[in-house]
Structure 1
Amino acid sequence: MMNPLLCLMILFLCFSLCKSQLHPIPAKIDGFVYKKPIVWGESVVVEAFLDPVCSDSRDSWLPLKQAFDYYSGQLSLVVHPVPMPYHSNSFTACRSLHIANKLNSSSFYPLLELFFKTQGKYYSAPTYGLSRAIIVADMTKLALTVVGESFSTAFQSGFNDSSTDRAARISFKYGCSRGVAGTPSFFVNGMPLSNSTVDYNTWKSIVDPLLSKNKN
C-alpha cells in the first residue's frame, strides 16, 4: 500500500504542473505589422506564418502584397517569422530578422524580402560544409545592406544577445500554439486557411465576401 503522504505529494506535484504556464508569456504579441497598424473590427486581418528560407513562403509573398495594396486600408497584415526545423539555416535567418528589427524597425520587411531573393544559397545542400560562423557572417553582411553599415558591430553582437534568441524561439512557439506545422500558413480573422497556396485571385475570393458582409 502506498504511503498516504507520498500520494499527497504526487497529487500536489501534478496539480502544480497543470497550473503552471507551459511557455513564458512575451511582453508583446508576436508578429510584425506590414506598413499600417491593425484596425481591429474595421479591417480583415491576415496573419502569415512565413519561413525566410522556405521557397513556398517566398512564392506566396508577392500575391499577398498585391492583395494588401489592392485593399488599401481594408486589409491588415501581420507576418510571423517561423523557423521550420527541416530548413537548416532558418532559425539563424529568423534571428537575423529579430536583430534587424531591434536595431532598425523599418528594416524587417526589406530584410525578409532579401532573404526571399537570396534564400537559395542558405538551403541545406549549399551550406552543408559551412560552419555556423560563416553563415552568420554572410547573413550579417546581407542584413547590413538594409539595416545600415553603421550597425555592423551591434548586429554581430545581436547573435550573442539572449533576447534575440528568445524572440526567435517565441516566434516558433507561437506558430506551434496556433497549430502551424508548415509554411506558409495563413489565418484570416483568426481562422486558419486550409489552402497554403494562395494566389492573388484566391485572396480576392476570400476577402471580397468578408468586406461585403462587413458593409451589410
Structure 2
Amino acid sequence: MQLTIILIVLIGFVSTQVPIPSRPDGYGVGGPADAHVVIDMFLDPLSSQGLHVIANVTNRNLDAIYLYTTKVFENQTTWYNDATKSMTIPQVIDSLATFVNQIGLVSKDKFMVGMMSDDINDETRISWKYACSRGVVGTPTFLINGVITSAGPSWSLSDWKSVIDTILATNENTSSNVKDCPTGQSECNYAPHKSQCCLAGERCIANVGCRC
C-alpha cells in the first residue's frame, strides 16, 4: 500500500477571477500520484509566498520545500502578531529573508527578489483560490483522499495511523489485477495490486501503466 502527502499553501488575497493553475497545485513530498491514500495538507507558513519563492528558486526541490515549511513553523513565534506589530511589511519580509539565508536554503538577495516577483505573487493568489474551492476556511486543514477530516495539529502518530491503516487494510483486500490478457497483449504489473494489458508497441511503466 502506498501513501502520498501534498503540501498546499493557503493565504489571504482576494481578486475577482479564479484562474486554473498551470499544473496541479501543491508540492508532493512523498509517494506516487496513484497511492491508495493521499493526504492534502493546507498550510499557512507565515509568508505563503515565501514557500513559492523557495519552490521557484530551487526548481521545486522537495527537500528545500519541506525544510522551509518545517523551520518556519519551528520558529513561527518570531513572526506572531505581537512580535511584528511595530514592524512594517518590508521589515517582516526582510526578517524572513534573513532567516531563510541563515538556515542555508537560498541567499537573502534571491529570496527578496522572489518576494517582489509578480509571477510568484500570482502563484500564491491562485493557491489561496484553489484552497477556497476545496472548502478550506482555515489552516491547518487536512484532506484524506479528497475529504476534509477532523485532523489537527494535536493529532499524534497513533491518531493518524488509526485512520490511514484502516484505509490501507481495506485496499489490501482489493485487487485491480487483470486475470488474463488477450492474445497479443502483455501483462503490466505497474503498481501493487494494479495491472493492465499492454497493446503491441506499448511499454509497462512503473506507477503509470501502459504507455506508447
Q: 1:165 aligns with which of 112, 121, 130?
A: 121
2:54–2:106 CA contact under 8 A, matched in 1: no
Instruction: Tell me how many residue pairs correspond in the alignment.
Output: 153
Structure 2 stretches lacking a partner, 5+ long? 1-15, 174-212
CA contact (8 A) 2:97 2:111 kept: yes
Superposed, 1:1-216 pairs within 5 Å as 22-34=17-29, 36-40=30-34, 42-52=35-45, 90=46, 93-104=47-58, 105=61, 106-144=63-101, 145-149=103-107, 152-196=108-152, 197-216=154-173
The question of whether the paired residues in 1 share the 8 Å contact of 2:38 and 2:145 is answered with yes
Alpha-carbon contact 1:50-1:184 (below 8 Å) kept = yes
* Deviation of the 1:198 alpha carbon: 2.5
Bigger RCO (CA 8 Å, 6+ sep): 1
Equivalent position amino acid for 2:144 in 1: V
Q: Is the 8 A contact 2:42 2:141 kept in 1?
A: yes
Report if the CA contact (8 A) 1:110-1:146 is conserved: no
Distance 1:135 1:39 in 2: 36
Greater share of helix: 1
The code of the aligned residue for 1:163 comes to D
Whether contact under 8 Å (1:100, 1:107) holds in the other structure is yes
Identity of matched residues, %: 29
**Structure 1 unaligned blocks of 5 or more:** 1-20, 53-89
1:58 counterpart residue number: none
SS at match of 1:47: strand
| Structure 2 SS opposite 1:148 | coil
Q: Could you tell me how far apart the structure 2 residues matched to 1:37 and 1:195 are?
A: 20
Q: TM-score, normalised by structure 2?
A: 0.67
- Structure 2 partner of 1:4: none
Q: CA deviation at 1:22?
A: 4.4
| TM-aligned CA deviation for residue 192 of structure 1 | 1.2
Structure with the bigger percentage of strand = 2
Q: CA deviation at 1:174?
A: 1.3
